[in-house]
Structure 1
């Protein structure tokens, strides 16, 4: 349990602190940063696969058409999510990224109902309604829907859905996800280098090293999360996950000095209320299910 909590905190704190990391490269276009992230992530996981001697298993894990389609979708959705996040961070929208990841668990629940035919109780539907009200309030304040937050939440929820369908080992899954898009990312980097528009060569030595480490910065939190998920109840993992958007929100307000208006506070309050209600109702359902199972076993 203690190890699981430590792994969980490490993973979500790392994700929450990522805006600090990507701000180091704010002079680079988002597409260029994304391409480097994809390429170096693949290099990093390829080293891990080599050390773990899992290359022979790689092809076998996607033997069916369903798993191949799911992995392809994983690759597309996570690439979209990474690009949106990098662009938002380096264009002063960290508060919206925080909102997106607060919304993500509730969007995932909606997708579970739509695609996996899961059933929700009244309290869980009320929580989703509260979250929708929070987004509507922010849309009214902005004069438009907070698209960055919405697309971040939807793209990551779709990634999670595809990931669940693929049902792959964490390391092998990430290897396939980065392998599929790495050739495109590498071709893009070579193209902008040939065009003379690449900014990589203008980086300082320390910045180059940090950019090369983006693979580790991407993969390690995923592995820590996987270790946490193995050791902890799902309800506890669900609670710990709010460390990430909370950390990003605090960074946005106190480090990046993004304005946090009264309207945004009201909107976030609806989202926070929704998450508290959903977590409470889900915990009660889980506890009741365990008690029922225990009663059946004792009989």
Structure 2
């Protein structure tokens, strides 16, 4: 196997993580809109984009292939609920001033994936992987003690996205086609919420809000769908060990935005908790990279 890396795949994957890293600024521009309405618009417009793209690319072939896998239908319904919860919690947290804690959620997500592998898939961890998980657990325990309660936002984001990844791992479908069916599952409930809000329950699309706000809500579908499609494209073209290291681009940018752009507190006590988690991630990523280089080509 060649040691070269597909440059286009690398660039697309890096761009995907950069978009996910700076997207808090985008949702912050919609701060005047209730989080559930942002979420509903996000689902509606991204569903139209993703399903429209799939229909143009493949007609109804993508849907027929999914329907031919009966096991995939309930699994993707569950993954749709999980990703909707993750998106909704993330948007609410950003606009409620918890960007730093959202970054924590995506820092600990890889180690949550490891624990799910042990508990659900009965995978066995190597010694350094257990040490990495222990460091992350110590960091979360420290942040819980310092804050007086667990970092529920971070744990909710990491847990929901970890479970989402587990479900998608257990059902073998094309990533974009799977996203298309998830979008179909969520479309009608999201559209119903938008219409209910517009019927005198706080909605302002095309009437109460500014044109700029309306356009941002519509373009939120692009902000949602394009990185997911780009990730599905890039991850097939570069080694997973590289993807594993690049995934820390997004929470790193989120943390920097939380501290320097949104001016959220990040004192020494909080930095110590993050430091323990970063140490665990460094051990985990370093061990995985070393193992991948030891394997024969």
Residue 41 of structure 1: CA displacement? Answer: 0.7
Aligned pairs for 1:134-145 within 5 A: 134-145=139-150
Partner in structure 1 of residue 220 of structure 2: 214
Task: Confirm whether residue 250 of structure 1 aligns to residue 253 of structure 2.
Answer: no
Residue 30 of structure 1: CA displacement? Answer: 0.9
Q: 278, 283, 291: which one pairs with 1:285? A: 291
Partner in structure 2 of residue 10 of structure 1: 15
Residue 268 of structure 1: CA displacement? Answer: 0.7
Is the partner of 2:71 in helix, strand or coil? Answer: helix
Aligned pairs for 1:20-31 within 5 A: 20-31=25-36
Partner in structure 1 of residue 122 of structure 2: 117
TM-score (norm. length: structure 1): 0.94
Answer yes or no: is the 8 Å Cα contact 2:40–2:191 preserved in 1. Answer: yes
Q: 203, 210, 217: which one pairs with 2:209? A: 203
Partner in structure 2 of residue 297 of structure 1: none
Task: Confirm whether residue 237 of structure 1 aligns to residue 243 of structure 2.
Answer: yes
- Structure 2: give runs of 5+ residues left out of the alignment: 1-5
Task: Confirm whether residue 159 of structure 1 aligns to residue 155 of structure 2.
Answer: no
CA RMSD of superposed structures (Å): 1.2
- Structure 1: give runs of 5+ residues left out of the alignment: 295-299
Partner in structure 1 of residue 112 of structure 2: 107
Residues 71, 143 of structure 1: alpha-carbon distance in 2 compared, 3 angstrom cutoff: same
Residue 9 of structure 1: CA displacement? Answer: 1.1
More helix by share: 1
Answer yes or no: is the 8 Å Cα contact 1:103–1:271 preserved in 2. Answer: yes
Moved more, 110-119 or 249-258: 110-119
In 2, Cα distance between the equivalents of 1:176 and 1:281? 36
Answer yes or no: is the 8 Å Cα contact 1:95–1:252 preserved in 2. Answer: yes
TM-score (norm. length: structure 2): 0.95
Answer yes or no: is the 8 Å Cα contact 1:67–1:165 preserved in 2. Answer: no
In 2, Cα distance between the equivalents of 1:184 and 1:236? 37
Task: Confirm whether residue 36 of structure 1 aligns to residue 24 of structure 2.
Answer: no
Answer yes or no: is the 8 Å Cα contact 2:30–2:216 preserved in 1. Answer: no
The CA deviation string for residues 56-97 of structure 1, in whole angstroms up to 9 with x for no partner, is 321322434421121011100000000000000000000000
Partner in structure 2 of residue 85 of structure 1: 90
Residue 114 of structure 1: CA displacement? Answer: 1.5
Answer yes or no: is the 8 Å Cα contact 2:66–2:73 preserved in 1. Answer: no
